[in-house]
């Protein structure tokens, strides 16, 4: 449930802070006062697209903060995202004057997509033009599935479809048509043969680079090695070995006078042995060191060829062995196309058979749900001023249809508003006003099944009045007993049925326009309902009528006495 909403520098709102309650909250105000700004701000904080035009003129940014008391399902979602450990959720959206925006859930930066994902669990907004989308066949199918008691059938269909689609894609990538397959085979064979001649492997590349470094630096290696050998064992007495032997001889003569020199002498003898071994290995290294300019040129040419090949295939030099292996595997799969294709086709046939089974179960569930939903909507239509109204939901199954994530059914809402007329498609039968009422009849029912704790209705009662408007208010009030409902309305018959009443007022001060929101007391509600009933001039009779409407319809207003009547 939405517990509070703070709006700063948004459109013509400078600062508004609302603490909301359960039940039905009706929102009214003069035309142009900015009633829809509240809904726009709520939509923005829940992930709708933002641009700099929403920032109040003269401000650097607009900020919307919303607090929610959350259900266990929403808590589970937040915990999976590592965003909360409590039963509260705080969302913030900041839009800057330069067009950038930032979003936060429980003080953690998030993407707009994460806001949308969370928003789908928190608030369901029904706009005043929602009835237009009702004409689309996919929307009608979605509404039917939304009220189904068991969602597993649709999930099974989606899972089977994804497996089927994945196998189809793999089969297409494996070979395509015969002409494409032959062309791909020819290219792969040429590429694999070309790379195979290079004897590619991670080890050979490393050995080649090592050999190149050695040959390119052979002269430097020889000079340094010969100099090191001279330092170790020169013909004169100035070599390292000569000094080590002299030091050993000196200590050997005096170590008998102090046993503490014994360890030093042992270390010197080890050093002499190791220096002699190093000298021997260094002489052998110098004797074997190969200075071969011709061989260096050969290695250079081979490295250049490998680098050219890497550029040709648009991979890095060290990626050539893996790339060669991948091409070889592709060639092997394509050359064994018939066998692999047979395996894939068998899997496709099996998953398609399974898809037909789960799609049949989904179809049967839709038929059952359609019968129940048709009756409920028809009953609501008749309450909403269409006494002969009837809605029929057709669910046609096409068993030969290509699999889709939503099954193989064609779902269509058919309606009849006049006696003796067969139900026909919504777009061909219903007028604008009738379509609005039909949409409301559907929304009230489907909202009860959505599981979303907060429902928003933005002037969905356009085009109706009189007793029908009172019934609309009654339907929304009943819905408010199960969910938190916010309803922007221009009808007194709807406004008087709210558990609480919020008024939107436009204020002009010093050539600046602001929007303010006020919770109305009972006397203020009476005046607002009277304004909605009577227009500019409010008479005592209008006030009495407004008071009677409130006492009769609003659960928060006491009944009036006979004297007050």
- Look at 195 and 19; give whichever has higher pLDDT: 19
Helix (H, G, I), strand (E, B) or coil at 129: coil
Average pLDDT of the residues of the chain: 84
| pLDDT for res 521 | 93
- Which tokens is 325 given? 């292996």
Q: Work out the pLDDT band at 564, boundaries 50, 70, 90.
A: very low
| pLDDT for res 104 | 93
Q: Is the pLDDT of residue 355 over 90?
A: yes
| pLDDT for res 556 | 60
The residue with tokens 């009972």 is 522
| pLDDT for res 494 | 92
Range 381-403 average pLDDT? 89
The predicted-structure confidence for 159-206, as pLDDT tens digits, reads as follows 999 999 999 998 887 765 566 777 888 888 888 888 787 777 767 777
| pLDDT for res 312 | 83
The predicted-structure confidence for 498-535, as pLDDT tens digits, reads as follows 999 999 988 887 777 778 888 999 999 999 999 988 76
| pLDDT for res 130 | 57
| pLDDT for res 561 | 44
3-state secondary structure 44-96: HHCCCCCCHHHECCCCCEEEEEEEEECCHHHHHHHHHCCCCCCCEEEEEEEEE
Return the number of other C-beta atoms located less than 10 Å from residue 472's C-beta.
Answer: 29
C-alpha 21, offset from chain centre: 30
Strand partners, 409: 397
| pLDDT for res 497 | 92
Q: Is the pTM value of this prediction over 0.75?
A: no
The predicted-structure confidence for 277-290, as pLDDT tens digits, reads as follows 888 888 887 777 77
24 with 499: CB under 8 angstroms?
A: yes
- Look at 564 and 388; give whichever has higher pLDDT: 388
Strand partners, 124: 455
Q: Work out the pLDDT band at 64, boundaries 50, 70, 90.
A: very high
- Which tokens is 417 given? 């508003």
Strand partners, 416: 390
Strand partners, 345: none
Do the strands 512-519 and 2-10 form a parallel or antiparallel pair, or are they unpaired? unpaired
The residue with tokens 């142009």 is 32
- Look at 247 and 181; give whichever has higher pLDDT: 247
| pLDDT for res 85 | 64
| pLDDT for res 23 | 92
Beta strands in 345-490 (DSSP E): 390-397, 409-416, 424-425, 454-458, 484-488
Please tell me the distance from the alpha carbon of residue 17 to that of residue 67, in angstroms, as a whole number: 11
| pLDDT for res 192 | 84
User: Does an H or E element contain 108, and which?
Assistant: strand 108-110
| pLDDT for res 431 | 64
400 with 371: CB under 8 angstroms?
A: no
| pLDDT for res 212 | 67
| pLDDT for res 176 | 58
User: In the sheet that 409-416 helps form, which strands lie side by side, from edge to edge?
Assistant: 390-397, 409-416, 424-425
Helix, strand and coil in the chain, % to nearest 5? 55, 20, 25
The domain limits of the chain are 182-335
- Which tokens is 416 given? 């009849």
68 with 88: CB under 8 angstroms?
A: yes
| pLDDT for res 321 | 80
| pLDDT for res 560 | 47
- In percent, the amount of the chain with pLDDT more than 70 equals 91
Q: Is the pLDDT of residue 256 over 50?
A: yes
Please tell me the distance from the alpha carbon of residue 92 to that of residue 130, in angstroms, as a whole number: 27
Please tell me the distance from the alpha carbon of residue 347 to that of residue 164, in angstroms, as a whole number: 8
Range 420-448 average pLDDT? 77
CA distances from 399 to 189, 360, 361, 402, 407 (A): 43, 9, 12, 9, 10
Among 52-61, 397-406, 430-439, 481-490, where is mean pLDDT lowest? 430-439
């Amino acid at each position: 449930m939405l517990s509070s909403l703070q709006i700063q520098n948004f459109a013509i709102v400078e600062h508004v802070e609302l603490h909301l309650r359960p039940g039905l909250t009706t929102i009214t105000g003069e035309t142009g006062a900015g009633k829809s700004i509240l809904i726009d701000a709520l939509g923005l904080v829940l992930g709708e697209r933002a641009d700099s035009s929403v920032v109040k003129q003269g401000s650097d940014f607009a900020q919307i903060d919303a607090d929610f008391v959350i259900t266990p399902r929403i808590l589970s979602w937040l915990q999976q995202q590592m965003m909360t450990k409590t039963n509260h959720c705080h969302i913030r959206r900041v839009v800057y004057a330069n067009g950038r925006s930032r979003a936060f859930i429980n003080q953690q930066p998030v993407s707009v997509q994460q806001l949308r994902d969370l928003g789908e669990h928190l608030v369901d907004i029904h706009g005043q033009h929602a009835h237009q989308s009702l004409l689309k066949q996919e929307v009608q199918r979605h509404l039917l599935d939304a009220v189904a008691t068991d969602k597993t059938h649709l999930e099974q269909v989606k899972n089977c479809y994804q497996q089927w689609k994945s196998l189809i894609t793999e089969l297409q990538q494996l070979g395509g048509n015969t002409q494409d397959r032959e062309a791909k085979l020819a290219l792969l064979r040429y590429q694999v043969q070309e790379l195979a001649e290079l004897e590619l492997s991670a080890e050979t590349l490393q050995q080649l680079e090592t050999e190149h470094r050695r040959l390119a630096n052979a002269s430097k290696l020889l000079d340094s090695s010969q100099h090191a050998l001279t330092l170790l064992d020169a013909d004169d007495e100035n070599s390292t070995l000569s000094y080590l032997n002299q030091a050993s001889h000196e200590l050997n003569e005096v170590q008998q006078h102090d046993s503490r020199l014994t360890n030093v002498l042992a270390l010197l003898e080890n050093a002499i042995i190791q220096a002699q071994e190093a000298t021997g290995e260094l002489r052998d290294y110098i004797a074997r060191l190969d200075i071969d300019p011709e061989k260096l040129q050969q290695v250079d040419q081979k490295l250049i060829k490998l680098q050219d090949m890497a550029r040709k295939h648009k991979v890095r030099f060290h990626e050539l062995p893996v790339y060669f292996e991948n091409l070889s595997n592709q060639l092997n799969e394509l050359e064994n196309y018939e066998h692999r294709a047979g395996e894939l086709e068998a899997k496709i046939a099996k998953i398609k058979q399974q898809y037909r089974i789960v799609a049949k179960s989904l179809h049967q569930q839709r038929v059952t749900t359609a019968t129940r939903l048709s009756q409920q909507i028809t009953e609501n239509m008749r309450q909403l001023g269409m006494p002969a109204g009837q809605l029929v939901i057709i669910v046609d199954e096409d068993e030969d249809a290509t699999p889709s994530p939503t099954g193989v059914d064609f779902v269509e809402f058919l309606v009849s508003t006049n006696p003796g007329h067969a139900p026909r498609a919504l777009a061909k039968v219903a007028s604008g006003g009738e379509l609005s009422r039909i949409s409301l009849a559907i929304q009230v029912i489907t909202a009860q099944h959505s599981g979303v704790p907060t429902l928003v209705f933005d002037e969905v009662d356009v085009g109706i009045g009189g007793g029908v408007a009172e019934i609309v208010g009654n339907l929304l009030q009943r819905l408010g007993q199960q969910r938190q409902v916010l309803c922007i309305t221009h009808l007194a018959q709807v406004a008087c049925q709210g558990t609480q009443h919020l008024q939107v007022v436009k204020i002009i001060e010093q050539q600046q326009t602001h929007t303010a929101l006020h919770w109305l007391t009972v006397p203020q509600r009476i005046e607002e309902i009277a304004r909605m009933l009577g227009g500019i001039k409010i008479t005592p009779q209008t006030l009495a009528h407004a008071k009677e409407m409130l006492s009769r319809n609003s659960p928060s207003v006491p009944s009036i006495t006979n004297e007050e009547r």
